[in-house]
A and B are shown apart, each in its own frame.
Chain A
Amino acid sequence: MLKIEAIFRPERVSAVAESLLAAGVTGFHYQNVTGQGQQKGVEVVTGRGGQTTTRSASSKTLLVTVISNDKKDAVVEAIVSASRTGEIGDGKIFVTEISDTIRVRTGEAGESAI
């Protein structure tokens, strides 16, 4: 079982969701996050408009989903194809091995609970 954490441009979230479902993902969640990578921060106006400063406040979407190992390539390709623009700031995908998944409603565990 793999956990996929994908950080990408917020405006791509609908395209990524659609693409993930087409690749056979059964569920995911996402949230709005702020931070910075190679894109660096964003310039904001402070005080009463007299100064600007740079904050690490680039807006991104962080999407999390869990999949079986055999779907890894298809899912990564689904996210990349739906979110890439080719410019700095497109984001990252992190893949982690996880040990188990439990479905709360029935208590079943393992791959069938994904």
Chain B
Amino acid sequence: MDSGTTAWMLTASALVFFMTPGLAFFYGGLVRAKNLVNTIMYSFISICVVSIVWVLWGYSLAFGEGNNFVGDFSMVGLNGIALFAAEGDAYPPLVDVIFQMMFAIITPALITGALVERFKFSTYLIFLVIWSTVIYSPVTHWVWGGGWISDMGALDFAGGTVIHINAGIAAVAAAMLVGKRRNPGLQPNNVPYVVLGAAILWLGWFGFNAGSALAADSYAVNAFLVTNVAAATAGLTWGLISMIKTGKMGAVGVATGAVAGLVAITPAAGAVDAMGALAIGFGAGLICFFAVELIHKTGMDDALDVFAVHGIGGIWGCLATGIFTVSALAGVDGLLGGSAKQLGIQAISAFGTLAYSGIATFIILFILDKIPGLGLRESEADEDQGLDLATHGEQGSVNDGAN
């Protein structure tokens, strides 16, 4: 066992863990003050629910041998996974369970941006269990567990398809089925929370991408660098477009742009250099900015722009990986290296994920909506009052002097 590798992987896992509370603040700041606690809880409770699902059967379904589409139940309850590293292993096998658990936690939390301010909390708890079992674990198996996407040779270093395209398209299904908010707000309730959340996500993403090297090596170092370059470029690009369009550079726009850059560099972090990251970040800022504008015109209420940022950003990153791949890093040439083959493979992997996750999420939510006692929406009265008090009996902050 290599203690350096093990120490880095535990650190990276903790960084990825911290992304979910960061997301809670990112989303929490964007909604209205009466739904702040509720929005934070959507993310926070995912930590509690998915951690349990993961050790019981989620890991086994994702990483069990199984077939091309899904793992198996051979490691239910982490059965058979050795506690100690075997001779020649860089780290104990439980490191994989821990690191991957953090990805499983944040993915369904990402979806909640589409359904905030109206989705029924009790149904959400059940949705979390079903979605991570039926969608997250199989798609993870496709990409990292020996499934058809990895067989095909698609490059997805840190989870552009598994996490971002997957969550992005699930968000579309959720927004369509739950319907529009009665009175969407005009302004975020707390811009500093949005920036704080984005900063925590950015920090955590170093663990997400550099940790995906599964070693403390040159790939990890390059992934760290390109992650930062892409996020910075996308944030600046978004801010400048906004400044040209409205005369002002808002913090929410720059924070959103940075997140879009992080999404886009995720699949490419092991395959591009810093100059490729500049291009990917610029593309993410530009494409996702106009995706937000366009999707708002469709009338679909993806409240916090999950599809525009994670879906479109993820697709851009997936394709850009096929364009800017440097053969010295990935062993294959991208479009700029003269080969269109990788771009085609990337497109198929994105399409497969979009189709499966979009349709399966739609079916899950459609069924949950029909089950008596469940349903997807809180009552109109609760929505108007705000879900903090109605659902949780709490308020984000109490400003009267009563005690």
Q: Which residues of A contact B (CB under 8 A)?
A: 44-53, 55
List residues of chain B with CB within 8 A of the CB of A46. 186-187
Bound Cα distance A49, B239 (Å): 8
Query: C-beta contact mask, B243-260 vs A, less than 8 Å → 1, else 0?
Result: 001111110111010000
18 contacting pairs across A/B (C-beta < 8 A): A45-B242, A47-B292, A48-B253, A48-B289, A48-B292, A48-B305, A49-B241, A49-B248, A49-B249, A49-B250, A49-B252, A49-B254, A49-B289, A50-B245, A50-B292, A50-B293, A52-B247, A55-B187
Bound Cα distance A49, B289 (Å): 9
Tell me if A51 and B256 are in contact (CB < 8 A).
Answer: no
Question: Across the two chains, which residue of chain A brings its CB closest to B185?
Answer: A46
B341 part of interface (Cβ distance < 8 Å): no
Q: Which residues of B contact A (CB under 8 A)?
A: 186-187, 238-239, 241-242, 245-250, 252-254, 256, 289, 292-293, 296, 305
Question: Across the two chains, which residue of chain A brings its CB closest to B304?
Answer: A48
List residues of chain A with CB within 8 A of the CB of B256. 48-49
CB distance from A99 to the nearest CB of B (A): 28
Q: Which of B186, B247, B248, B252 contacts A48 (CB 8 A)?
A: B252
List residues of chain B with CB within 8 A of the CB of A44. 186-187
List residues of chain B with CB within 8 A of the CB of A55. 186-187
Bound Cα distance A4, B187 (Å): 33
Q: Interface on chain A toward B: helix, strand, loop, or mixed SS?
A: strand
Bound Cα distance A41, B172 (Å): 35
Bound Cα distance A44, B253 (Å): 13
Question: Across the two chains, which residue of chain B brings its CB closest to A46?
Answer: B186
Q: Which of A45, A49, A51, A52 contacts B238 (CB 8 A)?
A: A49
Bound Cα distance A107, B256 (Å): 58
Which one of B252, B254, B305 has the highest number of Cβ atoms from chain A below 10 Å of its Cβ?
B252
Tell me if A45 and B186 are in contact (CB < 8 A).
Answer: no
Q: Which of B246, B252, B293, B305 contacts A52 (CB 8 A)?
A: B246
CB distance from A29 to the nearest CB of B (A): 13
Bound Cα distance A49, B256 (Å): 9
CB distance from A103 to the nearest CB of B (A): 21
Known interface pairs A53-B186, A55-B186; A47-B296 also in contact (CB < 8 Å):
yes
Bound Cα distance A106, B247 (Å): 58
CB distance from A36 to the nearest CB of B (A): 15
Bound Cα distance A55, B187 (Å): 10
List residues of chain B with CB within 8 A of the CB of A47. 292, 296
CB distance from A81 to the nearest CB of B (A): 33
List residues of chain A with CB within 8 A of the CB of B187. 44, 46, 55
Bound Cα distance A55, B186 (Å): 9
List residues of chain A with CB within 8 A of the CB of B246. 45, 49-52
Bound Cα distance A47, B255 (Å): 12
Bound Cα distance A95, B369 (Å): 57
Tell me if B248 and A52 are in contact (CB < 8 A).
Answer: yes
Closest 6 CB pairs of A and B: A49-B253, A49-B242, A45-B250, A49-B250, A52-B246, A48-B256
A48-B238, A50-B296 given; 17 more Cβ-contact pairs under 8 Å? A44-B187, A45-B242, A47-B296, A48-B253, A48-B256, A48-B305, A49-B238, A49-B239, A49-B242, A49-B248, A49-B254, A49-B289, A50-B289, A51-B246, A52-B246, A52-B248, A53-B186
Bound Cα distance A51, B247 (Å): 10
Bound Cα distance A48, B252 (Å): 6
Question: Across the two chains, which residue of chain B brings its CB closest to A44?
Answer: B187
Which one of B238, B250, B296 has the highest number of Cβ atoms from chain A below 10 Å of its Cβ?
B250
List residues of chain B with CB within 8 A of the CB of A48. 238, 242, 252-253, 256, 289, 292, 305
Bound Cα distance A53, B254 (Å): 19
Question: Across the two chains, which residue of chain B brings its CB closest to A51?
Answer: B246
List residues of chain B with CB within 8 A of the CB of A52. 246-248
List residues of chain A with CB within 8 A of the CB of B293. 50
CB distance from B353 to the nearest CB of A (A): 24
List residues of chain B with CB within 8 A of the CB of A50. 242, 245-246, 253, 289, 292-293, 296
Bound Cα distance A53, B241 (Å): 17
List residues of chain A with CB within 8 A of the CB of B245. 49-50
Bound Cα distance A48, B306 (Å): 12
List residues of chain A with CB within 8 A of the CB of B305. 48
Bound Cα distance A28, B17 (Å): 51
Question: Across the two chains, which residue of chain A brings its CB closest to B30?
Answer: A48
List residues of chain A with CB within 8 A of the CB of B253. 45, 48-50
Question: Across the two chains, which residue of chain A brings its CB closest to B248?
Answer: A45
Which one of B246, B289, B293 has the highest number of Cβ atoms from chain A below 10 Å of its Cβ?
B246
CB distance from B296 to the nearest CB of A (A): 7
CB distance from A56 to the nearest CB of B (A): 11
CB distance from A58 to the nearest CB of B (A): 15
Bound Cα distance A88, B285 (Å): 40
